[in-house]
Structure formats: structure tokens, C-alpha cells
Amino acid sequence: MKVSRSRALFSRAVELLPGGVDSPVRAFTSVGAAPLFIKRAAGARLEDADGNVFIDYVMSWGPLIHGHAPPGLVKALCAAARRGTSYGAPCHLEVDLGERVRRLMPSLERLRFVSSGTEAAMSAIRVARAATRRDKIIKFEGCYHGHADPFLVQAGSGALTLGVPTSPGVTAAAAADTLLASYNDLESVHRVFAANRGRIAALIVEPIAGNMGVVPPADGFLPGLREACSTHGAVLIFDEVISGFRAASGGAQGLFKIHPDLTCLGKIIGGGLPVGAYGGRTDLMNLVSPVGPVYQAGTLSGNPLAMTAGLWGLERLTPSMYRALAALGTRLAAGLASAAREARVSLQVNAFGSVLTPFFTDRPVRDYRSATRADSTKYATFFRGMILRGVYPPPSQFEGWFLSAAHTAKDVDKTISAARAAMREVASAG
Ligand code: HOZ
């Protein structure tokens, strides 16, 4: 495989950007490779600077449920750009997209658009603290809610991948206000509430964990969280940055029929452009400036291009599309599992609709501890084997693989053939 152009770009990039990248997992550090620089993408395919073409399973980490650069979206964006790229003033697109989000997720009675999931989560926490006049929050080990200080304590995603789940630079005071519980373990939640009576402002959770790899909620876990928050007067925040409009058109909250007090959204509501949103109960959201005193603002919030892309994408979510995506997810999960069995490699595939993670471990993965038992070295060998065969999986054991409406059964079957060969390499590497 030719990589000279990517290598040359990477040499320039490392002299400029920390690690040569603008977001850590992309550096391929944990998979023992150098990053490929992408030149273009269309449908389910990525093409790198050297002209290598890959079936993409990163899909910009989730938002591209319709695939890369669908022609209709590109047309809508060009038309929107001709009308201006940023106003710093309200526009009808924010209202249109907001109404559509609320129709799909009625718990968002009021919402505010921001530019990333990180902003959404840190703003939601601020609102919860203001509403309850309490400081502490509960988060789960291995869940990731962006990179604001309160969340970089036992965090998932890149922080977990690179072995710094608790980041230096987070003050002791910020870390002390973040209390940890174990995902899928209601007892651990009850213990934290009991030990901190009257001091917990909010509990934030990925209702389907996606940042320690995919870990679905156990039966009763989400209803148990709802009940615990109501009992203790804490705000229940669902971080649906990954699960929102992925798990189902109403997100995980629609699927599991749980009504959170606040929800964080990102990625997919911008259809591949930078967007986030937080929203929920009217009484809570009315604390946000200018109605209330909780300050939060942003020049690019409600940006017309991002709103256009979000609307285009959400308007095209149909039940038949979710059925087709789930069928592809099942096909891929089964194919990866059987490739591993044939090569006698231990593998657990956790899947949820169109998102999945193959964990290199022989035991079920249901929380942070079991996720981190997975063998990242084996994943790295597998990853490199897949890249060499024209498949681009996430460059980390602890992330989700994302399918899109642009992937076909043929793409999935090609991926499974590549996985058979890559699994044999994993087996022979020992
Ligand atoms: N933290 C993101 C995945 N969960 C990765 C972001 C990126 O590198 O683009």
C-alpha cells in the first residue's frame, strides 16, 4: 500500500499540531501505525492522499448516517452558502431544526444549539448545578461527555485509548466534584447517592455507552437511574451525542421509554457539520440566558450551514432505513464473530443497531472494567490487517464502528472477508 503522501503530510503536521492531529485518536497511536490523511470521501468510501480507497466504519465518528457527501446534502449546502455562511443573528433554520428535534425527542421542550457535544454537556451540567444549587455530579467510568474539566475523570474515548482517563490539568476541586459509578451497576449509583445526600446536582450517562466501545444498558439500568435521580432531586442528563437518532429516530430515550430531564446532542444533528445542542424541561432551560441567569453563548451557535445539514439529515430518517441499518449491523457483527471463531481468536461483539464494537476478549463486556480487559494489542494487529485490505475501522479498541445508509451488503461481505484474513494474522501474532 502506498503511503508516501500521507507520511509527508504527517511529517509536516507533527511540526505544527500536537501529535500531528487535531483530535488524539486520529493519530493512530494505539494501533501502531501512522495516520492516513484523507483527500475525499463519498458514500461509504474514504480516499486517502495516496489514492488508497477504504470502506469507512468511522463515518466521522457517527454523524454520517446517510453516508459521506450525499449529493442532495451537498446541493442544499451550496445553496445555503450562497445565502451566507454565518450571521451571528437568528435565522429560521434554527427554529426548523429545533422543532424537528423536539418532534423526534419530545423531552426536549426547550433547547439551545451550540457547536459541539462538549459544549452541550458542560452547559447542561451548569444548568443542573444552577437549578439544584448543588455542586457534585455523577458520571460513569468509561463514559465520555467531551473534554470539559468535570468529565475528564475516568473518561472513555481518546482519554481511555491513550491511557489518560483522568487528565492532568483538571483541578483537584473539579475532580472532587465528579463522583464515579460503574456502568450497568445500579448498586454503585445508590452507594454514591447515599454517601452524598443533598449534594448531587446531576447524573450524566450515555444511555447506550459508545466511548468504551459499545456497551448497551442492562435491563432495568436506565429506569433505575431515572428513579434514583427523582428520589434524590438530581437532574438526569442523557448524553445522546452518539445514540441520538442512531439507536432509533427518538434516540435511546425513545427506544427505552425513559424521560431524562436534560439531553445532550451532537454530531448527527449537524449532519457532519459542527453542531451540538442541549435541552429538556422548560423550567430548567428557562434558567439559560437571556431568560435566566445561567450564561452560555456562541458566535457559531445555530450556524446556517450546520442547521441546513442537520435538517437535511433528520428529514430523511425513516423506519425502513433503521431496519436496513440494523440488518447490516447484524450481518457485520455475525461475520466478525465467525471470522474470529474460524481463527480461534476470542472475540465479543457488542452491537446496537448500526453501531458495534468487536472486543478482543473471551468475557462479556458490560462495563469499564470488562471493556478494559480487551486486548488492545490484538485489536491493533487486526486494525492494520483491515487497513491493508481496504477497510478503515476506528483506530482504537474503545470506539464504535458505524454503518450508514450508503453501506451495502456487498461492502459488509467484503469487510468480513478482510476480517477473516486479519483474524488469522491476530492468531499467528499470538
Ligand atoms: N472522541 C471522538 C470519538 N468518540 C473522536 C473524535 C475525532 O477524532 O474526530
Q: Of ligand 1's atoms, which has the minimum distance to the CA of residue 400? A: 4
ω into residue 217 within 30 of 0, thus cis? no
Half-sphere exposure of 426 (CA within 13 A, CB side): 31
Q: Give 42's strand partners.
A: 45
Testing ligand 1's pocket by substitution, the residue of 23, 46, 59, 240 carrying the most ligand atoms inside 8 A of its CB is 23
Q: How far is the CA of 127 from the centre of ligand 1 (A)?
A: 25
- Tens of pLDDT, residues 302-347: 999 999 999 999 999 999 999 999 999 999 999 999 999 999 999 9
Cβ atoms 180, 139 nearer than 8 A = yes
Q: Which CATH architecture has domain 71-314?
A: 3-Layer(aba) Sandwich (3.40)
Q: Are strands 391-392 and 53-56 parallel, antiparallel or unpaired?
A: parallel
- pLDDT at res. 7: 98
Topology of the domain comprising 4-65+318-429: Aspartate Aminotransferase, domain 1 (3.90.1150)
Catalytic residue chosen out of the listed positions 239, 367, 375, 411: 239
Q: Looking at 172-283, which runs of residues are DSSP E strands?
A: 178-181, 200-205, 235-239, 262-266, 276-280
pLDDT at residue number 154: 84
pTM: 0.97
Where the chain has pLDDT below 50, the residues are none
Output the pLDDT for position 247: 83
Q: Where in the chain is the domain with CATH 3.40.640.10?
A: 71-314
Q: CA–CA separation, 168 vs 264, rounded Å?
A: 25
Q: Confirm if 94 and 82 have CB atoms less than 8 A apart.
A: no
Start and end residues for every CATH 3.90.1150.10 domain found in the chain: 4-65+318-429
- Is 267 part of the annotated catalytic residue set? yes
Q: Which residue in 76, 73, 66, 62 sits closest to 43, CA to CA?
A: 66
Predicted pLDDT at 159? 78
Separation of CA 239 and ligand 1 centre (Å): 15
The Å distance, Cα 82 to ligand 1 centre, comes to: 30
Angle at 86 between CA 82 and CA 92, to 5 degrees: 85
Considering only CA atoms, give the Rg of the chain: 21
- Ligand 1 atom index nearest CA of 24: 8
Say if residues 367 and 141 touch (Cβ distance below 8 Å).
Answer: yes
pLDDT in tens, 115-141: 999 999 999 999 999 999 999 999 999
What strands, in cross-sheet order, belong to the sheet with 45-48? 38-42, 45-48, 53-56, 391-392
